[in-house]
A and B are shown apart, each in its own frame.
Chain A
């Protein structure tokens, strides 16, 4: 069980070669092996969505994937969203709408929403609520998050 396995993975454009225990989750790999602590772990059983990252573009829960499963794949985390000093329009919209408080669930919402907006550039409120229904936030009551995602959609359409 403790025999180490090679994992080569591209995270936010950087290639990492690591040796990991087979049982190491992707979330723990990102957080503790790579030091990318922006991905948060809220339930460790795939319900809360805090640990959501993108795997080859698809939003996935890193707490119920093993690091060895992403060998040869591409991962994007919240740390890769902003462009240097400039926040991503979705991050800007979150701040403008009060869509985060404690911020613990926020990376998961951002990574879920960004994938959704790529597929649905002109969503309505119901579609946003549906898309985000797999992520839990205990602080905001969601109204501000939904507003932020709709606003971000509009900013992205205008090429903001």
Chain B
């Protein structure tokens, strides 16, 4: 079903908008209803954290380390304390005993405790941007002025900036090698697999450090009740999101307060993507300052500090070896990964490298697997999750490896994948690995169908000579090294434009680099071979719907309107609308009149939050259960009132409960008495696994190294879709972020550990002219059997395969897919150097020589 294909600018995504809806059960789920969040955000009436204003509010700013690694000799705040408007300067000396380590949220492990970060550096700083003191003043400007006068005397220590080479110094004296953790995943007999191999293909791959960078920076407003510090009243904190209940527990423990005296409230949130909402040093410092001063304190992060303070992600190096038999079947995969963790372990502990290790085998059958991840500390910003954490990286590395294998075996890229994809009859498929302490068992999906559809959708096979007819693995097997490349048409790279006969997606004038001029001439004609074109694809599986539970509280207010509250969070993704659709179907009323509340710890006793593509899966099913049971109670009450059996009643438009024989009453009448209220917690022991195939077509300007993504296709299956328009937004937004991580974004450091990406001039986010047309289609075949709604998460599907597809497309364009190493992001500088090192398309002989690896 092609409901999700979105030809550019001609989308059919507005089905059902604003119809006066004669609602019946199941009418809302599956429809692109308008989002309930939209009107307030379109009018500028949303309430983001910096819009929260409390009388008497003070303003805080953080003094941060300008050095990567140093001992703090002294902090002199004399001058700062004399600054106009200053209220307080809180350093490690002032906060002393309150500075407990921030605990790990996911998969705690006591071996990690000694690498945790405290809210302020005590006697040593370990990255540029590490908080050293908090300055509180009567205005933000005054706080910033005073912060500049805080004199910190640093004694420099040798900085560690490369996780892969021998460290010049330990970050923690108790760990000389800076190895915080070693993660291992394995199944099958890997030595036997490699011993049996007809061919072994290796690849070194690197993904660059980058991060979520939501458009709204972080911020908090901590408001103590009068006398809160003396044990009277409560503390309210505006601005937390994502995991408010967990963060409340952490704050309570760090303050030594009972949880019930703390309320965290999520306002409108300007994007999160995994990084925002975790418990950071400021999440302690700001409430702590408010309590000490007995005044409300606001802290709004600026963009410069955001880039060095929020969790970074993605910096991994892979050494991969794939063993194949003579038919191109994967026998075994060996992986050595180094994950640059940054200076401390934060709330994610070692979850990100663990996800890479558990998901690297992806959607492919293989008999044996062995992966080892070294989690290494460096003097850089600590790391955590960012949309498809661990998978953007491992999918890119694996898919690039498979393209290299295809090139070297002579089996077509699509064909090689097709031979190895897990087939639908193998579902549920036990992967043999584990993530987040849970065994990986794919629940449903037709991976070969997704690949076939993606190829058809993108014209992948037609446009790129995929394999030499008749050339299989056996054709190349005669080579002693096993590294003979597939024969490629000589003309391909020389007149590469001809290799992609598909009409260009958009020859945008704004992009300036288009191959054809408006006068019909070709830039390429002037400089033959300047532009090269390529396509690449990547198959992936996505974990979604992480447990253990999420809750929903549902009740009818006195007007008969349905109110639903949950512990999950909305960081902009449209959770309110999705839950209202599910709730509306469950009760039988229109979604527009439903109030969905979230992210406030006072709403519901237990909450887990929004991460790991779990909101719709976990909160959605909780809402479904709670409201379904509420409906039963409503009908029972109506049945008693109207004197008809509950089974003869229906809830219809306008909140009218109608029975047979014309008898009816309103929901408001039924809700006049207490009792129409329900709380349900949905538990799920196993995750739901979405999957997809991403295809990229790129144009490479060999003169400048600029890679222009011309079009992205994505074929996906996310189970049952609640709101196709919202899913489309998740897909397209994820793809755009993937483009950023593949081509533009990198958080860079120099050799001294100085941070080089502290502004949007230095850290390039993709804009309207960097993101191409994205064509996507929902395969729609595989609802999850693991929850009543059949839904799977969709939030990370868009980004998961982009890195691999783009890396493969660039290698295809440069006709160097056999190269032994590759990396992301493919910035113009890197691509330009790559072209210079390898200026002409390789002859098969040269490729064979270059492709022969030391084993």
Which residue of B51, B728, B771 is within 8 Å of A142 (Cβ)? B771
A-contacting 9-mer, from B130-138, B569-577, B607-615: B569-577
A-contacting 9-mer, from B209-217, B361-369, B388-396, B640-648: B209-217
Collect the chain A residues with CB atoms within 8 Å of residue B737's CB: 138, 141
Decide if B726 touches A140 in the complex (CB within 8 Å). no
Decide if B759 touches A101 in the complex (CB within 8 Å). no
Collect the chain A residues with CB atoms within 8 Å of residue B213's CB: 138
Which residue of A32, A45, A48, A95 is within 8 Å of B35 (Cβ)? A95
Decide if A102 touches B215 in the complex (CB within 8 Å). yes
Collect the chain B residues with CB atoms within 8 Å of residue A91's CB: 42-43
- Cβ of B17 within 8 Å of any chain A Cβ, yes or no, is yes
Decide if A94 touches B38 in the complex (CB within 8 Å). yes
Which residue of A77, A96, A128, A139 is within 8 Å of B572 (Cβ)? A139
Collect the chain A residues with CB atoms within 8 Å of residue B34's CB: 95-96
Contact indicator per residue, chain B 1-20, by CB within 8 Å of chain A (1) or not (0): 00000101101011001000
Decide if B771 touches A138 in the complex (CB within 8 Å). no
Decide if B14 touches A97 in the complex (CB within 8 Å). yes
- Cβ of B489 within 8 Å of any chain A Cβ, yes or no, is no
Return the chain A residue nearest B732 by Cβ.
A141
Decide if A45 touches B303 in the complex (CB within 8 Å). yes
Return the chain A residue nearest B739 by Cβ.
A141
Collect the chain B residues with CB atoms within 8 Å of residue A152's CB: none
- Cβ of B37 within 8 Å of any chain A Cβ, yes or no, is yes
Which residue of B11, B217, B573, B798 is within 8 Å of A42 (Cβ)? B217
Contact indicator per residue, chain A 34-65, by CB within 8 Å of chain B (1) or not (0): 01111111111101101000000000000000
Decide if A87 touches B773 in the complex (CB within 8 Å). no
- The secondary-structure label for the interface of chain B is loop
Return the chain A residue nearest B40 by Cβ.
A103
Collect the chain A residues with CB atoms within 8 Å of residue B44's CB: 36-39, 77-79, 81, 107
Collect the chain B residues with CB atoms within 8 Å of residue A94's CB: 38, 42
Instruction: Using A36-B44, A87-B42, A125-B506 as known contacts, say yes or no to A101 and B303 having CB atoms under 8 A apart.
Output: no
Task: Write the nearest CB–CB distance from A106 to chain B, whole angstroms.
Answer: 6
Task: Write the nearest CB–CB distance from A154 to chain B, whole angstroms.
Answer: 11
Collect the chain B residues with CB atoms within 8 Å of residue A126's CB: 506, 508-510
A-contacting 9-mer, from B184-192, B253-261, B264-272, B808-816: B264-272
Collect the chain B residues with CB atoms within 8 Å of residue A69's CB: none
Return the chain B residue nearest A91 by Cβ.
B42
In chain B, residues 774-830, which have Cβ atoms closer than 8 Å to a Cβ of chain A? 774, 798
Decide if A133 touches B510 in the complex (CB within 8 Å). yes
- Cβ of B733 within 8 Å of any chain A Cβ, yes or no, is yes
- Cβ of A150 within 8 Å of any chain B Cβ, yes or no, is yes
* In the bound complex, CA of A96 to CA of B48 (Å): 23
Which residue of A41, A105, A130, A140 is within 8 Å of B50 (Cβ)? A41
A-contacting 9-mer, from B155-163, B554-562, B761-769: B761-769
* In the bound complex, CA of A51 to CA of B510 (Å): 23
Task: Write the nearest CB–CB distance from A69 to chain B, whole angstroms.
Answer: 18
Question: Number of A-B pairs whose CB atoms are under 8 Å?
Answer: 209
Decide if B769 touches A38 in the complex (CB within 8 Å). no
Return the chain A residue nearest B772 by Cβ.
A143
Decide if B17 touches A79 in the complex (CB within 8 Å). no
Task: Write the nearest CB–CB distance from B266 to chain A, whole angstroms.
Answer: 12
Which residue of A97, A103, A144 is within 8 Å of B37 (Cβ)? A103
In chain A, residues 79-96, which have Cβ atoms closer than 8 Å to a Cβ of chain B? 79, 81-82, 87, 91, 94-96
Which residue of B46, B510, B760 is within 8 Å of A45 (Cβ)? B760
- Cβ of A132 within 8 Å of any chain B Cβ, yes or no, is yes
Collect the chain A residues with CB atoms within 8 Å of residue B217's CB: 42
Task: Write the nearest CB–CB distance from B106 to chain A, whole angstroms.
Answer: 23
Task: Write the nearest CB–CB distance from A149 to chain B, whole angstroms.
Answer: 10
Task: Write the nearest CB–CB distance from A1 to chain B, whole angstroms.
Answer: 10
- By size class, the interface of chain A is 35 or more
Q: How many of B's residues come within 8 Å of A, CB to CB?
A: 71
- Cβ of A135 within 8 Å of any chain B Cβ, yes or no, is yes
- Cβ of B725 within 8 Å of any chain A Cβ, yes or no, is yes
Return the chain A residue nearest B268 by Cβ.
A103
Contact indicator per residue, chain B 288-303, by CB within 8 Å of chain A (1) or not (0): 0000000000000011
Decide if A100 touches B42 in the complex (CB within 8 Å). yes
* In the bound complex, CA of A132 to CA of B737 (Å): 17
Decide if B729 touches A98 in the complex (CB within 8 Å). yes
Task: Write the nearest CB–CB distance from B561 to chain A, whole angstroms.
Answer: 20
Collect the chain A residues with CB atoms within 8 Å of residue B214's CB: 102, 104, 138
Collect the chain B residues with CB atoms within 8 Å of residue A129's CB: 508, 510, 768-769
Instruction: Using A126-B510, A130-B509 as known contacts, say yes or no to A101 and B42 having CB atoms under 8 A apart.
Output: no
Return the chain A residue nearest B38 by Cβ.
A95
- Cβ of B735 within 8 Å of any chain A Cβ, yes or no, is yes
Task: Write the nearest CB–CB distance from A28 to chain B, whole angstroms.
Answer: 9
- B35, B84, B798 — most chain A CB neighbours (10 Å): B35
Instruction: Using A102-B271, A103-B42 as known contacts, say yes or no to A143 and B215 having CB atoms under 8 A apart.
Output: no
- Cβ of B141 within 8 Å of any chain A Cβ, yes or no, is yes
* In the bound complex, CA of A43 to CA of B760 (Å): 8
Task: Write the nearest CB–CB distance from B723 to chain A, whole angstroms.
Answer: 9
Decide if B216 touches A44 in the complex (CB within 8 Å). no
Return the chain B residue nearest A43 by Cβ.
B303
Collect the chain B residues with CB atoms within 8 Å of residue A68's CB: none
- Cβ of B750 within 8 Å of any chain A Cβ, yes or no, is no
- Cβ of B273 within 8 Å of any chain A Cβ, yes or no, is yes
- Cβ of A74 within 8 Å of any chain B Cβ, yes or no, is no
- Cβ of B525 within 8 Å of any chain A Cβ, yes or no, is no
* In the bound complex, CA of A115 to CA of B771 (Å): 23
- Cβ of B45 within 8 Å of any chain A Cβ, yes or no, is yes
* In the bound complex, CA of A106 to CA of B761 (Å): 21
- Cβ of A67 within 8 Å of any chain B Cβ, yes or no, is no
Return the chain B residue nearest A107 by Cβ.
B44
Return the chain A residue nearest B140 by Cβ.
A28
Collect the chain A residues with CB atoms within 8 Å of residue B48's CB: 37, 40, 104
* In the bound complex, CA of A56 to CA of B569 (Å): 40
Collect the chain A residues with CB atoms within 8 Å of residue B736's CB: 140-142
Decide if A104 touches B732 in the complex (CB within 8 Å). no
Which residue of B43, B141, B269 is within 8 Å of A23 (Cβ)? B141
Task: Write the nearest CB–CB distance from B462 to chain A, whole angstroms.
Answer: 24
Return the chain B residue nearest A103 by Cβ.
B41
Instruction: Using A50-B215, A104-B215, A126-B508 as known contacts, say yes or no to A142 and B768 having CB atoms under 8 A apart.
Output: yes
- Cβ of B39 within 8 Å of any chain A Cβ, yes or no, is yes
Decide if A102 touches B8 in the complex (CB within 8 Å). no
Collect the chain A residues with CB atoms within 8 Å of residue B215's CB: 40, 42, 48, 50, 102, 104-105, 136-139
In chain B, residues 683-734, which have Cβ atoms closer than 8 Å to a Cβ of chain A? 725-726, 728-729, 731-734
* In the bound complex, CA of A94 to CA of B725 (Å): 12
- Cβ of A147 within 8 Å of any chain B Cβ, yes or no, is yes
Which residue of A50, A106, A110, A130 is within 8 Å of B510 (Cβ)? A130
Task: Write the nearest CB–CB distance from B92 to chain A, whole angstroms.
Answer: 28
Return the chain A residue nearest B740 by Cβ.
A138
Decide if A47 touches B761 in the complex (CB within 8 Å). yes
Collect the chain A residues with CB atoms within 8 Å of residue B84's CB: 2
- Cβ of A7 within 8 Å of any chain B Cβ, yes or no, is no
* In the bound complex, CA of A87 to CA of B42 (Å): 8
* In the bound complex, CA of A64 to CA of B773 (Å): 32
Decide if A44 touches B302 in the complex (CB within 8 Å). yes
Contact indicator per residue, chain B 28-61, by CB within 8 Å of chain A (1) or not (0): 0000101101111111111110110100000000
Collect the chain B residues with CB atoms within 8 Å of residue A110's CB: 42
Task: Write the nearest CB–CB distance from B735 to chain A, whole angstroms.
Answer: 6
Instruction: Using A38-B44, A45-B761, A103-B42 as known contacts, say yes or no to A143 and B732 having CB atoms under 8 A apart.
Output: yes
Given contacts A96-B17, A97-B13, A126-B508, 20 further A-B contacts (CB under 8 A): A38-B44, A43-B303, A43-B759, A45-B760, A95-B35, A100-B42, A102-B214, A102-B215, A102-B571, A103-B42, A104-B48, A104-B215, A104-B572, A126-B510, A129-B768, A138-B733, A139-B729, A140-B736, A141-B771, A143-B732
Counting from the closest, the 8 A-B pairs by CB-CB distance are: A38-B44, A102-B572, A103-B41, A104-B270, A141-B732, A141-B736, A78-B44, A47-B760
Q: List 10 A-B contacts (CB under 8 A).
A: A38-B43, A102-B215, A102-B573, A103-B270, A132-B768, A133-B510, A138-B213, A143-B773, A144-B732, A147-B9
